[in-house]
Amino acid sequence: MPASAQFENIDSTLSPSESGILVSRSIDISSIDVRSIFHKLNSPRILWSSPNQAFTLSFGSAITLSATGDLRFEKIKEAADLSFADADIDSFNNHLHTPKFFGGFSFDPSHKESPPWSGFHSSLFILPKINIVQSDNGFELTLNMYGEDIDPFQVESDLISLKSDLESMPLIHSSTNSHQFVKLTPSISNSLWNSQVNEILGSIKDGSVHKVVLAQSLRATLECPPSLLDVFYNLCDQNPGCYHFLFEPLEGNTMFGATPELLVSRNGNLIQTEVLAGSIARGSSQPIDEDLSKKLLMSSKNQHEHSIVLDNLNSKIKSFSNDVEINPQKIKKLETVQHIWTTMKAHMHTNDHILSITNTFHPTPAISGIPSDVAQNFIRSTEPFERGWYGGPFGWFDPTGNGEFVVCIRSAIAHENEVVLYAGAGIVQNSDPQEEWEEIQLKFQPILNSFNSP
Active site residues: 211, 261
Exposure of 246 in the CB half-sphere (CA atoms within 13 A): 27
Angle (nearest 5°) at CA 219 between 336 and 339: 20
Q: Kindly give, in sequence order, each residue whose CB lies less than 8 Å from that of residue 435, ignoring residues fewer than 6 positions away.
A: none
Sign of CA dihedral 359, 374, 390, 258: negative
Angstrom distances, CA of residue 39 to CA of 29, 100, 396, 418 = 19, 23, 23, 19
The backbone torsions φ and ψ at residue 255, rounded to the nearest 5 degrees and listed phi first, read -95, 140
Taking the C-alpha atoms of residue 367 and residue 375, their distance in angstroms, rounded to an integer, is: 10
- Adjacent-strand bridge partners of 240: none
Taking the C-alpha atoms of residue 53 and residue 58, their distance in angstroms, rounded to an integer, is: 14
Chain CA centroid to CA 101, Å: 13
Taking the C-alpha atoms of residue 207 and residue 341, their distance in angstroms, rounded to an integer, is: 27
Per the CB < 8 A criterion, the answer to whether 147 and 14 are in contact is yes
Taking the C-alpha atoms of residue 170 and residue 165, their distance in angstroms, rounded to an integer, is: 10
Q: Where are the beta strands (DSSP E) in 128-180?
A: 130-135, 138-147
Angstrom distances, CA of residue 129 to CA of 2, 25, 279, 309 = 15, 11, 40, 38
Q: Prior bond to 16 cis, omega within 30?
A: no
